[in-house]
């Protein structure tokens, strides 16, 4: 299954939650796209393996602060979920659901 398309991303942090979006394009095992947050639109890159293991990397910067966002998870049908590493800012849980394409 391809990761290409639009995804609604839900993040559960230690203190709070956030909703973001992903637009992903997959070519073979490689994935590139855009990660949209309340802080702007960032590039995201990664891979997906034949067993559905997902690894995506981005970073979010706001004013003088920044954090790496490293998503590790598993793809299952129209959903994916896993753990998000935020560098020195701990970890979070994430899940994403594919959004329907244009009719």
pLDDT tens, position by position, 11-56: 998 888 999 999 999 999 999 999 998 888 999 999 999 999 999 9
Q: What is the DSSP string of 23-68?
A: EEEEETTEEEEEEEETTEEEEEEEEE-TT-EEEEEEEEEETTEEEE
- What is the token pair recorded at 25? 């394009």
- Specify the pairing of strand 16-27 against strand 5-13: antiparallel
pLDDT of residue 65: 76
pLDDT band at 85 (very low <50, low <70, confident <90, very high): very high
Q: What percent of the chain has pLDDT over 70?
A: 96
Per-residue pLDDT, averaged over 62-84, amounts to 90
Enter the pTM of the model: 0.89
Does any domain span residue 70? yes
Does any domain span residue 41? yes
What φ, ψ does residue 77 adopt, rounded to 5°? 60, -120
| CATH number of the CATH domain containing 10 | 2.40.128.120
Instruction: DSSP letter for 86, please.
Output: -
pLDDT of residue 102: 64
Number of structural domains, the chain? 1
Does any domain span residue 103? no
Query: What is the residue range of 94's domain?
Result: 5-98
Does any domain span residue 78? yes
Does any domain span residue 35? yes
Per-residue pLDDT, averaged over 59-79, amounts to 87
Per-residue pLDDT, averaged over 65-80, amounts to 92
């Amino acid at each position: 299954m391809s990761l290409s398309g639009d995804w609604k991303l839900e993040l559960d942090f230690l203190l709070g939650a956030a909703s973001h979006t992903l637009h992903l394009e997959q070519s073979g095992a490689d994935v590139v796209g855009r990660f949209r947050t309340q802080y702007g639109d960032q590039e995201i890159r990664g891979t997906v393996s034949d067993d559905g293991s997902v690894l995506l990397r981005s970073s979010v910067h706001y004013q003088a602060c920044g954090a790496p966002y490293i998503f590790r998870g598993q793809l299952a049908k129209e959903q994916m979920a896993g753990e998000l590493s935020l560098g020195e800012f701990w970890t979070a849980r994430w899940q994403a659901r594919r959004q329907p394409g244009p009719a």
